[in-house]
Amino acid sequence: GENVEQHPSTLSVQEGDSAVIKCTYSDSASNYFPWYKQELGKGPQLIIDIRSNVGEKKDQRIAVTLNKTAKHFSLHITETQPEDSAVYFCAAPNKAAGNKLTFGGGTRVLVKP
Amino acid sequence: AAGVIQSPRHLIKEKRETATLKCYPIPRHDTVYWYQQGPGQDPQFLISFYEKMQSDKGSIPDRFSAQQFSDYHSELNMSSLELGDSALYFCASSLGPVGTSGRGEDTQYFGPGTRLTVL
C-alpha cells in the first residue's frame, strides 16, 4: 500500500515569510496529490492538488510542486498571514484500494505576527 | 456551494453503548469515505462505498459497520463503544471512486466531522 511521509512536523514562520512543507510517497502508480488545511475542530479543507501530468501548480499564494522521479511533492505558501496558521496534510490515494487517501503525519504551521 | 453534511456534530456516549453517525455527501457525489482522526494524528481510513456497495475497508473494528443508502447518504454504526473510540470521525465524498485522467473525479471533500466522546 501507499506510505506518505511529511516534514517538518511543526513550522514557525514570521508573517510575510514563506513556508515549505515536503512529502514523499512510496507507490509509483500514484498520480494525484491533494493538500488539506485543517483548523482546530474542523474538517480537512482541500486547498490545492496536483496531478502527475504537471510539475507545478499555483493558486494565488499557494503552490505545489511534484517530482515523480523522486516521488516527492511540496507545498509552498508565500507571504504568509496569521490566518494561514493551521495543520496541513499531504495525501495520496491508493488507486488499487478504492482511492482511499493515505495522509502524511501533518505539519502544524504557526505564523507569528 | 453545497458541502458534505455530518450529524451529529458532537456525541457523548458511555462505554458499551452504541452510536450512529450520519453523512450526507455533496449532491451528485456517489462515493463516500469514512475516516477516524485521533488527537494530534492524521485521519485514518475506515471504509468506503461507491454506488451503495462497499468499495474498500481499512482498519475498521468488527464492532463498527456502515452502509450507503439509495439517496447516497451513509451511516456509520458503532457498537460496544470503548474509550479508545473517542475521536473525530470524518466523512468525505467524491464523484467516482478512482482517479481518472485528470478530471478531478477522485477529489475528496471532507465534512465538518463528528466528535465522539466515550466516557
Q: Do B55 and A41 touch (CB under 8 A)?
A: no
pLDDT in tens, A68-91: 999 999 999 999 999 999 999 999
pLDDT band at A93 (very low <50, low <70, confident <90, very high): confident
Mean pLDDT in chain B? 91
* Residue numbers in B near A102 (CB within 8 A): 45
Q: Answer yes or no: is pLDDT of B109 > 70.
A: yes
Please list the residues that pair with A12 across neighbouring strands.
Answer: A110
Instruction: Give the full edge-to-edge strand order of the sheet including A4-7.
Output: A4-7, A19-25, A72-77, A62-67, A56-59
pLDDT in tens, A11-32: 999 999 999 999 999 988 888 8
CA distance B75 to B57: 15
Interface residue A44 vs chain B (CB under 8 A): yes
Rg, Å, chain A Cα set? 14
Taking the CA of residue A95 and the nearest CA in chain B, the distance in Å comes to 6
Which pLDDT does position B104 carry in this prediction? 55
Which pLDDT does position B98 carry in this prediction? 53
pLDDT in tens, B30-63: 999 999 999 999 999 999 998 899 988 998 999 9
- Of the candidates A100, A44, A38, A94, the residue with the CA atom closest to the CA atom of residue B110: A44
Q: Answer yes or no: is pLDDT of B97 > 60.
A: no
Enter the C-alpha cell of residue B103.
Answer: 478530471
Q: Answer yes or no: is pLDDT of B102 > 50.
A: no
pLDDT band at A54 (very low <50, low <70, confident <90, very high): confident
Q: Answer yes or no: is pLDDT of B107 > 80.
A: yes
Which pLDDT does position A72 carry in this prediction? 95
Interface residue A51 vs chain B (CB under 8 A): yes
pLDDT band at A33 (very low <50, low <70, confident <90, very high): very high
Cis ω before A8 (30° cut-off from 0): yes
Mean pLDDT in chain A? 94
Q: Do A93 and B106 touch (CB under 8 A)?
A: yes
Beta strands in B25-97 (DSSP E): 31-37, 44-50, 53-57, 64-68, 74-78, 87-94
Count contacts between A and B (CB, < 8 Å).
69
